[in-house]
Structure 1
Amino acid sequence: MAVQHFDFLVLGLGGVGSATLYHLASRGYQVAGIDRFPIAHDRGSSHGHTRLIRQSYFEHPAYVPLVQRAFELWEQLGIEHGRDVYYETGIIECGPKDGELVSGVLASAAQHNLDVEHLSVSQARDRWPQFGFSEHDSIVYEQRAGFLLVEQCVSAHVELAQWAGAETFCDQTILEVKSESNVVRVKTNKAEFTADKVVLGVGAWARDLIPELADLITVLRKPLHWFQADDALYSRKSGCPSFLFETEAGHYYGFPSSDCRGLKVARHSGGEVVSDPLQVDRTLDETEREDVRKFLSVHLPGVSNQPTDHTVCMYSMTPDSHFVIDRSQADGRIVYAAGLSGHGFKFTAALGEVLADMASEESPAFDLSLFQRCRFD
């Protein structure tokens, strides 16, 4: 079989890869994407129906310009494709006064002049009687927040890329990424390709395909849960916001009901270590469901304890929970984004643009110093 050559190859077509494919194709390059699974599959980190997007980023103020660009690009994607991918619900963020969540939100809001409301417990109870708040809670609300329809985001990026001329090769396992003098060669179980530049957005498989990250990334198994809920109280159409809580037991987040499965909730902190992403346990331990039931009983007491669905995804964690966005130490023609640490999907529209800039030797519009690989040396 003849070796196919492209200007760029994008390895992995989840959140990061699909967006990168779109940005490169829309600039007129000859580009192809490769994935071991079908588009918008449920075997990695970019699935599960919804993902939060929020602006006053408690994790670090440096994320704010990047997520602001992501908001613009998600809205542009919906218009260009003719499919809604983002729904604004607003978000409640609640935690102890001395915790990291609310203090981080307020710090980012102050640094970037963002509009957030800092509410008293009585104000929050009056406004959202369907939520439970303790007297010791600190509560903020941000209207510029909501959720993305994750599979629709991925498929829309890929479809637009294909309409612009990109090729996709699914159900192909990447066996080798090899640097040669004039090209980068990629071998799969079915074909062989060469490219001038390669972009990797391979999620939980970064340890295998990006050698300099092999000892840095830990993959965690993360169950997502849906429960029956009264639409009059907990649906998007009734005005229920998304939410993020910092509690003694951990961080929990969720979304108002948007389909027949009801309200979605998950624990952000913790997680079982995954040694092989292909062998992750996708069954649900009842103790995992009971954990989120306890959270719901305190903070969303009107939600039924009757589950309707679940799924399992993976987080690819770095030691400091910040992303790694960089060039390969071995070959500057290879760029990547990895280790998104369970909070990356909202950024992927912008990360695709950043990686397209890096791969095509253009200067990204953002300060990426927080995300460099060398911080771990």
Structure 2
Amino acid sequence: MPRARPQCENYQVTVRKTAHAPIKRGTLKHIRYSVIIVGLGAIGSYLAGELTARGYSVLGLEQYAPVHDRGGYSGESRLFRMAYHEGAEYVPLLKYSRNYFIDLDTRHPAKLFHQTGALTIGHPNGAGLIGVQDSINNFHIDFEAYDAEELRRRYPQHADITDEIGILDKQGGVLYSDAIVHQMQQEAKAAGAELYTHEEVVGFEETARGVKVRTVRDTYKTDHLIVCAGVWSKTLMPELEPYVSIVPISLGWYITNGVTDYAPSSFPGFIRESNGSHLYGFPCLDGMTVKVGNVGNRSEVPTPRELPPRASGPALREPAQLVTRYLKGVTDGPARHSMHMDLFSQDHRPIIDRLSGRIIVATAFSGHGFKLTPALGRAIADLVEDQEPAFSLQNFNLSRFFEPSA
């Protein structure tokens, strides 16, 4: 049965007491902001800069440090792909985002975007390769295609190539996600945004004159509220519960033997779908290790606080077995690994919607939000201004999960 559209009036959650010392900002209840952003991950940090540049007074609230290990962006790096197997509809957004990342890279002293290309390996009739080819055909993306023999010759780092083929998306690469979020925050602050960290939001309430946002320290008033709190969106907005789930993501760093060439100039970031497994990985960025993850054993957790601190059992063993099988010259277990999490919607599309005249939710980016951040952030900023979004958000509305109430 279709569900009724959730009503957005008064959200209140129970939180644990924080252990950190209070920051002496004084009471700020008299200050009213044009926009308050809850969550300073990739989308929140981008929006803080974008909306400040558009002339809005912006307050960003983050419960942890400015950059931390619990965000959807966490884990050092992310693949960027233009030939997108998730759907050709995303390609215009990816084109815009790629230009933004290139521009950001030129403004930063360290490398933020390694344009290594992005290699997809799989069977010709596999869903991943079909999706990649569809994006290429619809948008004339620059690519190279390899049969199994050529794939083995060009990229000898990949093992157990049988009847797979490879497609190199020449506009793909690797993004330093943690560093990019930091840079976006720095630019937002330089433009005039106020970003408060270690300040958890406990609830918000829409009134006739705006929105009141309550934190563990204070109450703030705003004309517009954007909730982009990642996995914590589910806690702040229980109405999302039926449509989203918190998914753990385990990443491992494997030491190379120093002989097999995993440098960015020789080894592009990759996705591989072989024999029912889905592996993705990155070139050696630190001179010692390659980072690899796999899509598997992703049993959801009820709340963010229940994310296990370490992978164990099959969640640790199976990725290591796949790495040993499909990559040459790396250790048979990770030298280090980390656990992260992201919020996934039922259909693995983002949830971006206006819940009322003043409240926008932007969450559940479902494992592919980081690379889309600049385009989606621009469209959300347009939504705040009651403009037609630069990129359509229609497919991301909550209404896709239910019929509107009569």
TM-score (norm 2): 0.88
Partner of 2:380: 355
What is the deviation of 1:232? 4.8
* Paired amino acid for 2:340: C
Alignment of 1:187-202 (within 5 A): 187-202=214-229
Q: Give the root-mean-square deviation of aligned CA atoms.
A: 1.6
Partner of 2:370: 345
Residue in structure 2 matching 1:37, options 58, 64, 67: 64
Q: Distance in 2 between matches of 1:365 and 1:83?
A: 30
Name the CA shift for 1:7/1:228 in 2 (closer, same or farther; >3 Å).
same
Residues 1:333 and 2:358 aligned together:
yes
Q: Distance in 1 between matches of 2:182 and 2:370?
A: 14
Q: Distance in 2 between matches of 1:376 and 1:261?
A: 45
| Structure having the higher Rg | 2
Q: Distance in 1 between matches of 2:230 and 2:197?
A: 16
List runs of 5+ in structure 1 lacking aligned partners: none
Q: Is the 8 A contact 2:145 2:166 kept in 1?
A: yes
Q: Distance in 1 between matches of 2:46 and 2:227?
A: 12
Name the CA shift for 1:234/1:209 in 2 (closer, same or farther; >3 Å).
farther
* Paired amino acid for 2:58: V
1:130-178 deviation per Cα after TM superposition (whole angstroms, max 9, x unaligned) = 2125333132111111111111111111110000111011111111121
Residues 1:150 and 2:177 aligned together:
yes
Residue in structure 2 matching 1:97, options 116, 124, 140: 124
TM-score (norm 1): 0.95
What is the deviation of 1:82? 4.2
1:18-49 deviation per Cα after TM superposition (whole angstroms, max 9, x unaligned) = 11111111222210100110111112322111
1:327-373 deviation per Cα after TM superposition (whole angstroms, max 9, x unaligned) = 11xx1211122111112111112222221111122222112222121
Provide the aligned length of Structure 1 versus Structure 2: 375
Task: Please say which of residues 63-72 and 265-274 is displaced more in the overlay.
Answer: 265-274
Q: Report the identity percentage.
A: 29
Name the CA shift for 1:62/1:270 in 2 (closer, same or farther; >3 Å).
farther
Name the CA shift for 1:211/1:144 in 2 (closer, same or farther; >3 Å).
same
Q: Is the 8 A contact 2:259 2:329 kept in 1?
A: no
Q: Distance in 2 between matches of 1:32 and 1:75?
A: 27
SS in 2 for 1:214: helix
* Paired amino acid for 1:259: D
* Paired amino acid for 1:298: R
Q: Distance in 2 between matches of 1:278 and 1:19?
A: 26
List runs of 5+ in structure 2 lacking aligned partners: 1-26
Residue in structure 1 matching 2:291, options 264, 272, 275: 264
Q: Distance in 2 between matches of 1:292 and 1:88?
A: 26
1:270-321 deviation per Cα after TM superposition (whole angstroms, max 9, x unaligned) = 4021112023111221432321222122221222214221111102111111
Q: Is the 8 A contact 1:57 1:104 kept in 2?
A: yes
Residues 1:220 and 2:247 aligned together:
yes
Ranges of 4+ aligned residues in structure 1 off by more than 6 Å: none
Q: Is the 8 A contact 1:11 1:34 kept in 2?
A: yes
Partner of 1:366: 391
